[in-house]
Amino acid sequence: MDSMIPLTPEEMAQANGGVAVTVRLKTIDVRSGPSLSYPVIATLSSGVTLNTTGYVSGSEQDAGRWYMINKPAKGWVSAADLGI
């Protein structure tokens, strides 16, 4: 897994400290780390807006890129689950 890549200041400014992303699937899991092997710590419903602060790129079997979020929960979500 690569090092976390922080969002640019311009990206951070777009959503008051991060980039806002809206959950489009019925539900998505928030994990304690950037991998499917980390436990699920929260489940978010469709329509919830997340605040991302950075990302790491993982392997294909580990769902690819993972975004760190700090709102509405702190943890990691898969880009595949976000549809981005």
pLDDT in tens, 25-67: 688 899 999 888 899 999 988 888 888 888 887 666 566 788 8
The CATH number of 5-79, from 2.50.20.10, 3.30.70.330, 3.90.1170.50, 2.30.30.40, is 2.30.30.40
Domain residues of the chain, as ranges? 5-79
- pLDDT tens readout for residues 10-25: 554 443 445 667 777 6
- CB of 71 closer than 8 Å to CB of 50: yes
Question: Could you please report the per-residue DSSP string of 33-66?
Answer: SSSTTSPEEEEEETTPEEEEEEEEE--GGGTSEE
Does pTM top 0.85 for this prediction? no
